[in-house]
């Protein structure tokens, strides 16, 4: 099927980013086959189906480099007991109970709800990190099915941790990695690891072995809180990144999430091993763990991407959070204007390429047809030269009207086409109180 998205402002991004007013993008099946002026492409592809993008801006679909679909049902839940006063208490009182309380149907719904939110926000690719120690076996298949139904792309993994017994989750992760193999461009797999402080040397060694044999990377939380650094120093006599590197978990396909409490030598090690880092500014602020040294990481040419850590599925607001956070943290109004958009628009596509083996994040002939089409009528000129200003101060609040992934229209006129939003959210509301009760029982 050939579709012509026309009469919009096309922002191609990529190395030769162009802004095309009255532009059009023509897709055929899963690929973009032409980009140019609407008039020209109307002549070249007269028989194509058309989607009118008047009053809209067309961008490549957004990528989220770190998410936790399973966190969905915690929304609005009262956490039993005293409020958590630090990061470890947040894990123990909230997340390490949420994951244990999930049933199979909860896992499916917990994925479907954020998948709908991804489509609503033009996020067409996600790298997810899943945990459900109550029902680990087959959990990644449930999420895969939800992703395929939604129609976006996802790299999935199961969070291995020794916190519920040695090597919990290895079996599920290994099974799924073998099943997915090299992937099909829509689903990919990684070796999921919780964090250094919940993983013994023995478990790490097993997981790294599985990952190396399969040629996949490790997806692991690194020094999110000072407690992770202190644990590594105390138990292993070295900081977190050094320990993970020594165990073989670093490398070009691996993702070190957060990296808030790391020193210069650890940054050098990340750079030397070409390991990817994912920054999650809203989550770091929410958990009050500290500020990732973003600028020193970028100065070392480390590939730093942007994730939501389960906080939301909206990448433009994450980008803006990164922009604001690093201005405040450095007290320097000259920084982050270029860097925050770079994480989302340049680095996330590179991270995705390492996982999926395809080049996303670019509206160019021959590239995958993943698009986010937003309502946006610029109040000032919009060109290649000032796009970032529009991105940070205008597009961040624009509504996504149409989302396209693999050439398929998943939402049009703000209506989700690939999933039944009403049914899914109603069922989630129905099951959430039961999940909360099971969670409360774990606390008493």
* Least distance in angstroms from the C-beta of 185 to Zn ion: 24
Near Zn ion by CB under 5 A, which window of 4-12, 69-77, 309-317, 336-344?
A: 309-317
Of 344 and 400, the one with the shorter C-beta distance to Zn ion is 344
Tell me the three-class secondary structure of the chain, residue by residue.
CEEEEEEEEEECCCCCCCEEEEEEEEEECCEEEEEEEHHHHHHHCCCCEEEECCCEEEEECEEEEEECHHHHHHCCCCCCCCCCCCHHHHHHHHHHHHHHHCCHHHHHHHHHHHHHHHHHCCEEEEEECECCCCCCCCHHHHHHHHHHHHCCEEEECECEECECECCECHHHHHHHHHHHCCCCCCEEECEEEEEHHHCCHHHHHHHHHHHHHHCCCEEEEECCCHHHHHHHHHHHCCCHHHHHHHCCCCCCCCEEEECCCCCHHHHHHHHHHCCEEEECHHHHHHCCCCCCCHHHHHHCCCCEEECCCCCCCCHHHHHHHHHHHHHHHHCCCCCCCCHHHHHHHHHHHHHHHHHHCCCCCCCCCCCECCEEEEECCCCCCCCHHHHHHHHHHCHHHCCEEEEEECCEEEEECCEECCCCHHHHHHHHHHHHHHHHHHHHHHHC
CB of 219 to Zn ion, least distance (A): 9
Q: Which residues within the stretch 219-278 sit at the binding site for Zn ion (CB under 5 A)?
A: none
Minimum distance between the CB of residue 182 and Zn ion, rounded to whole angstroms?
Answer: 25
Shortest approach of Zn ion to residue 124 CB, angstroms? 20
Q: Does 144 bind Zn ion (CB under 5 A)?
A: no
Nearer residue to Zn ion within complex by CB, 280 or 402: 280
Q: CB under 5 A: which stretch of 3-11, 305-313, 331-339, 372-380 binds Zn ion?
A: 305-313
Nearer to Zn ion, 131 or 374 (CB): 131
227 vs 388 by CB, closer to Zn ion: 227
In this chain, which stretch among 93-101, 302-310, 345-353, 372-380 interacts with Zn ion, using CB under 5 A? 302-310
Q: How far is the CB of 360 from Zn ion (least distance, A)?
A: 21
Give strand pairing partners of 127: 155
Would you say 53 or 193 has its CB closer to Zn ion?
Answer: 193
Closest separation in Å from C-beta 68 to Zn ion: 5
Q: How far is the CB of 130 from Zn ion (least distance, A)?
A: 11
Compare residues 231 and 309 and give the one whose CB is closer to Zn ion: 309
Nearest distance from residue 91's CB to Zn ion, in Å?
11
Q: How many residues bind Zn ion (CB under 5 A)?
A: 1
* Binding letters toward Zn ion, positions 347-376, x by CB under 5 A: ------------------------------
Closer Cβ to Zn ion, 128 or 174, answer by number: 128
The interface region with Zn ion, picked from 288-296, 307-315, 366-374, 401-409 by CB under 5 A, is 307-315
Nearer to Zn ion, 275 or 403 (CB): 275
Using DSSP, state whether 91 is helix, strand or coil: helix
Q: Which of 117, 309, 362, 370 binds Zn ion (CB under 5 A)?
A: 309
Which residue ranges make up the site for Zn ion (CB under 5 A)? 309
């Amino acid at each position: 099927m050939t579709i012509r998205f026309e009469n919009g402002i096309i922002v191609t991004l990529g190395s030769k980013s162009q802004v095309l007013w009255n532009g059009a993008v023509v897709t055929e099946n899963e690929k973009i086959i032409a980009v140019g002026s609407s008039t020209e492409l109307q002549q070249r592809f007269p028989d194509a189906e058309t989607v009118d993008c008047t009053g809209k801006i067309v961008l490549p679909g957004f990528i989220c480099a770190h998410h936790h679909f399973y966190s969905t049902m915690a929304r609005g839940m009262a956490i039993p007991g005293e409020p958590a006063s630090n990061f470890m208490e947040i894990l123990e009182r909230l997340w390490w109970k949420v994951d244990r309380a999930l049933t199979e149907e909860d896992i499916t719904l917990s994925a479907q709800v954020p998948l709908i939110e991804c489509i609503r926000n033009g996020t067409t690719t996600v790298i997810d990190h899943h945990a459900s120690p109550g029902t680990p076996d087959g959990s990644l298949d449930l999420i895969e099915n939800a992703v395929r139904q939604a129609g976006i792309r996802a790299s999935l993994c199961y969070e291995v941790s020794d916190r519920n017994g040695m090597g919990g989750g290895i079996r599920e992760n290994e099974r799924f990695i073998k099943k997915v193999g090299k992937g099909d461009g829509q689903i990919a797999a990684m070796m999921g690891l919780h964090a250094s402080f919940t993983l013994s040397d023995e478990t790490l060694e097993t997981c790294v072995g599985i990952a190396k044999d399969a040629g996949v990377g490790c997806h692991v939380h690194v020094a999110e809180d000072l407690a992770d650094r202190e644990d590594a120093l105390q138990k292993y006599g070295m900081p977190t990144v050094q320990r993970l590197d020594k165990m073989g978990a670093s490398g070009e396909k691996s993702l070190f999430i957060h990296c808030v409490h790391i020193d210069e030598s650890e940054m050098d090690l990340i750079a030397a091993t070409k390991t990817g880092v994912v920054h999650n500014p809203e989550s770091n602020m929410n958990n009050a763990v500290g500020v990732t040294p973003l600028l020193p990481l970028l100065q070392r040419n480390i590939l730093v991407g942007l994730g939501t850590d389960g906080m939301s599925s909206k990448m433009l607001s994450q980008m803006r959070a990164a922009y604001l956070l690093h201005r405040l943290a450095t007290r320097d109004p000259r920084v982050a204007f270029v860097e925050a958009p770079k994480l989302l628009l340049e680095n996330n596509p590179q991270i995705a390429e390492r996982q999926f083996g395809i080049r996303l994040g670019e509206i160019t002939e021959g590239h995958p047809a993943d698009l986010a089409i937003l309502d946006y009528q610029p109040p000032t000129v919009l060109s290649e030269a000032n796009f970032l200003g529009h991105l940070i101060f205008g597009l961040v609040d624009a509504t996504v009207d149409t989302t396209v992934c693999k050439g398929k229209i998943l939402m049009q006129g703000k209506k989700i086409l690939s999933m039944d939003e009403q049914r899914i959210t109603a069922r989630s509301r129905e099951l959430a109180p039961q999940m909360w009760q099971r969670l409360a029982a774990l606390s008493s």
